[in-house]
């Protein structure tokens, strides 16, 4: 017997055929580029150290509609000096309907960022080249593994501390 909350209003539980995923829009929410040591940095030997930071933020916009923002921050240093800092917040509006909470969490936490990353990667590359630096192609990211790591951190944070014996 199904609960009224899980039914579609006609007394039936939604099945896999009732699931829907769609992309409404992909857009650049914010971007910035800084080259604090230019033009001097262009005269140094180019042996960059690249630091990549990623984060995501999700917000419901309407029933079954979610805004997912992928923040990509790339800091490149040559020695101790920052050559450039590129930051891109690339977002998407997604229709996600008919999925259970756990599946929906995986979609907004892994699947959607996976779809957004190639666009963010392109914007970062374009910013870097327009800043006068050699092209930077970010390596692919395993968002499934990052999402699993996030779930483990959440589970660990929710565990009560062990009582002393």
What's the predicted TM-score (pTM) here?
Answer: 0.82
Q: State which H helix or E strand residue 60 sits in.
A: strand 48-62
**Domains, in order of start, for the chain:** 16-136 (3.10.420.10)
Least confident range from 14-18, 74-78, 113-117, 137-141: namely 14-18
**Residue 140, token pair as written in the block:** 């692919």
Q: What is the pLDDT of residues 94-131, one digit of tens each?
A: 999 999 999 999 999 999 999 999 999 999 999 999 99
The mean per-residue pLDDT over the stretch 88-93 comes to 98
How far, in whole angstroms, is CA 140 from its chain's centroid? Answer: 12
Coil vs helix vs strand at 80: coil
Q: Compute the mean pLDDT over every residue in the chain, rounded to the nearest whole number.
A: 89
Residue that is written with structure tokens 């960059």 in the block = 48
| Whole-number pLDDT of residue 6 | 44
Cα Dmax for the chain: 73
């Amino acid at each position: 017997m199904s609960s009224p909350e899980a039914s579609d209003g006609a007394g039936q539980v939604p099945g896999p055929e009732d699931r829907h995923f769609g992309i409404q829009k992909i857009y650049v929410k914010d971007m910035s580029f800084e080259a604090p040591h230019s033009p001097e940095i262009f005269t140094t030997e180019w042996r960059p150290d690249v630091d990549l930071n990623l984060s995501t933020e999700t917000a419901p916009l309407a029933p079954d509609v979610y805004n997912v923002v992928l923040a990509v921050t790339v800091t490149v240093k040559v020695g101790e000096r920052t050559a450039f800092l590129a930051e891109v917040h690339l977002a998407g509006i997604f229709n996600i309907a008919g999925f259970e909470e756990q599946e929906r969490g995986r979609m907004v936490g892994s699947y959607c960022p996976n779809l957004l990353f190639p666009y963010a990667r392109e914007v970062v590359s374009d910013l870097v080249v327009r800043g006068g630096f050699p092209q930077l192609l970010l390596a692919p990211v395993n968002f499934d593994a990052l999402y699993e790591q996030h779930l483990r951190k959440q589970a660990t944070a929710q565990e009560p501390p062990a009582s002393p014996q």
